[in-house]
Amino acid sequence: MKSDSLILPRKMNKFHIQSPFKPSGDQPKAIKRLSLGLRENKKHQVLLGVTGSGKTFTIAKVIEEVQRPTLVIAHNKTLAAQLYAEFTEFFPENAVEYFVSYYDYYQPEAYVPQTDTYIEKETSVNEDIDRLRHRATKSLFDRRDVIVVASVSCIYGLGSPESYYKMHLFIERGQRIERNDILEKLVEIQYSRNDIGFQRGTFRVRGDIIEIFPAYEDSPIRVELFGDEVEKIVKLDPVRIKPKEEIKEISIHPNSHYVTSMERMKITQQEILKEMEERIDWFKSQNKFLESQRLYQRTMFDLEMIKEMGFCQGIENYSRFVDGRKPGEPPYTLLEYFPEDALFIIDESHVTIPQIGGMYWGDRARKTTLVEYGFRLPSALDNRPLNFEEFEERITQAIYVSATPGPYEFKKSENDVIEQIVRPTGLTDPEIVVKPVASQVDDLLDEIRKYAEKKERVLVTTLT
C-alpha cells in the first residue's frame, strides 16, 4: 500500500536548486529529454554519462523541473553518502534524507547443519544512521519536496506505513489532553521512560513537564502542561537541555518502524501461537523431537516478551503477523512510504540492478535452513527483501544512471539512451596506454626514475 491512500497533509514546498553553476556541455540536452520523457509517462529512461560529466547535477535539475518526491538508489553506503552530500548541497531548503542499513556490524542468524553450529544474530547499531532512517520516513509523511538517497537495503522489510503513521502522537499548543494519556501513547509507540539517561527514543517526566527525545531528531522536546491543557512546546538544546526555540505543534512518530496497535499485537500473539502448534505437530509427525522442543522454547520466550513489553528481540521475524499480511505476500518497504507519483533514480545501474536481483535468494537460503531445523517459524521466510519482480512492480518511473549501462537497462528503455559525453569543463579523457605484462616491473621502474629525476612524486595503484 502506497502512502497516498492515507490522504496525508503534506507540505507543498517547491524543489529549488541553489548552485552557482549553470548546465553546460551535454547537460542542457539531457535535462530537457529526461524531463520530457517523464512528462510523456515513459517508465524507463537511461542516462549514459561519462565520469566527470556532471550526472548528479543533471538529475538534480530534472528533479527541480518535474517537482516530484524522489528515491535515489545506490549500490553501497559509500556511494550513497557521496550522493547525499551532493544533493544536500544542491537542495539546502528541501528535505534530502539518507536511508541505508543502520548496522556498523551485522552477523545474521544462521545454522550450519554439517557441523551442528548455530550462529546467534549479532549487531552493532549506528545511532546516527538510525535517526536518519526515521527522519526519512517522517519527511515522506510530512512533505512532498523529499529526496531520499538509499542503498539497496531499501528493499528490505520496514513495517506498515499505515500503522507507522496512524500511531503517531500529535501535540499542539492549547490542546486539551491528560498527562497520563500522553505517557500511555508514548509507551505504545515504543518510547521508554528514563528519568536519568535521556537519549533518542526515551522520555522523562517531572510533574506537569514531559521531555521527549524523538527517534528522528537530534534535539529533545519539552511539553509543559497546565492541568489538562498544553501550555507550551519547546525545542531544547541537546547538550545543556535548555530552551532553544518555542514551537506551535509537534508530531511524535514511533520509535520503531515495526509498531502496531495493542489490538493488532494481541491478534499477532494468537497467530504466532497457532503457527507454532501446527509446526510442532508436523515436527513430531516426522520424529523430529529436538527441532520440536527447540521451536517451542524459542517461540514461547518471544511470546512472553511481546506480552510483557509489546515487542521482542527479532520481532521482524514475526512481521507478517504484525503487518497482517498473508503467507507469501511481499513485505512493506521504504518504497511503500513514497506517494504514487514518486520518481526512482537507479545510480550506477549496471551494478545496482544485479545487486537488487540477488538479495532475495541469499536471504531465503539462510532462513530456510533456520526453519527446517526449528530455529524459526515458517512465517520468518516472509521477513525478507523484495524479489526482483516485486521491485519492478513498485517502480512508477525510473531513470537508470551509468557510464556503462547493462542489457537490462537497454531492454527496458528500448535502447532510447540519453548520452552525456561532453563534460561541462570541456576536459577530455586522458590518453590511456596499454603495455605488455612481460616487462611491467622494469617498465614501472623506468617511469618512476623519469619523474624522480624531476623531483616529482609517483602514485602506483596495483592489485594484490
Residue ranges of the chain that CATH labels 3.40.50.300: 3-162+330-420
Mean pLDDT over 315-339 rounds to 93
- According to DSSP, the residues that pair with 112 across neighbouring strands are 117
Any idea what DSSP says for residue 75?
Answer: S
Higher-pLDDT residue of 259 and 387 is: 387
243 vs 237: CA distance, rounded Å: 6
* Mean of pLDDT values over 219-227: 95
CATH superfamily of the 169-252 domain: Penicillin-binding protein 1b domain (3.30.2060.10)
In this model, does residue 463 exceed pLDDT 90? Answer: no
Q: Is the pLDDT of residue 193 over 90?
A: yes
pLDDT for 51? 81
What pLDDT score does 372 carry?
Answer: 96
Task: Look at residue 352 in the predicted model and tell me its pLDDT.
Answer: 97
Query: What is the per-residue pLDDT for 196?
Result: 86
What's residue 262's pLDDT? 84
pLDDT at 50: 85
User: Which pLDDT does position 295 carry in this prediction?
Assistant: 97
* Single-letter amino acid, residue 63: I
Q: With bands split at pLDDT 50, 70 and 90, how would you rate the model's confidence at 4? A: low
- The predicted model scores a pTM of 0.85
pLDDT of residue 170 exceeding 90, the answer is yes
Would you say residue 186 has pLDDT above 50?
A: yes
| pLDDT, tens digit (0-9, with 9 covering 90-100), for 139-167 | 999 999 999 999 999 999 998 999 898 89
> Which fold does the domain 3-162+330-420 belong to in CATH?
Rossmann fold (3.40.50)
Contact 171, 137 (CB under 8 A): no
pLDDT at 8 over 60: no
- How far apart CA 300 and CA 306 sit, in angstroms, is 10
Cell of 295: 521451536
Is the confidence at residue 240, as pLDDT, over 90? no
Q: What is the dihedral of CA 337, 6, 252, 174, to 10 degrees?
A: 150
Residue 309 has pLDDT above 90, yes or no: no
pLDDT interval class at 135 (50, 70, 90): very high
Segment 35-77, tens digit of pLDDT: 999 999 999 999 999 888 899 999 999 999 999 999 999 999 9
pLDDT score, position 9: 58
Q: Rounded to whole angstroms, how far apart are CA atoms 436 and 441? A: 11
Mean pLDDT (the chain) is 92
Arithmetic mean of pLDDT, 241-249: 91
Strands 229-236 and 103-107 turn out to be: unpaired
Q: Residue 3: what pLDDT?
A: 55
pLDDT of residue 84: 97
The mean pLDDT value for 309-316 works out to 85
Q: What is the pLDDT of residue 427?
A: 65
User: What is the reported pLDDT for 5?
Assistant: 47
Instruction: Report the distance separating Cα 325 and Cα 386, nearest Å.
Output: 14
C-alpha cell at 440: 611491467
What lies within 8 Å, CB to CB, of 188 at 6+ separation is 167, 261, 262, 310
Residue extent(s) of CATH 3.30.2060.10 domains in the chain: 169-252
Give the whole-angstrom CA distance, residue 214 versus residue 245.
Answer: 16
Span 325-336, average pLDDT: 94
> What cell was used for 49?
554519462
In this prediction, residue 117 has a pLDDT band, given cuts at 50, 70 and 90, of very high
Mean pLDDT, residues 249-266 taken together = 90
Res 385 pLDDT > 90: yes
- pLDDT tens, position by position, 388-431: 999 999 999 999 999 999 999 999 999 889 999 887 766 666 78
Q: Which residues of 400-438 are buried (b: 16+ CB within 10 A; e: fewer)?
A: bbbeebbebbbebbeeeebebebbbeeeeeeeeeeeeee
Q: How far is CA 285 from CA 275, 296, 299, 376, in A?
A: 15, 15, 19, 18
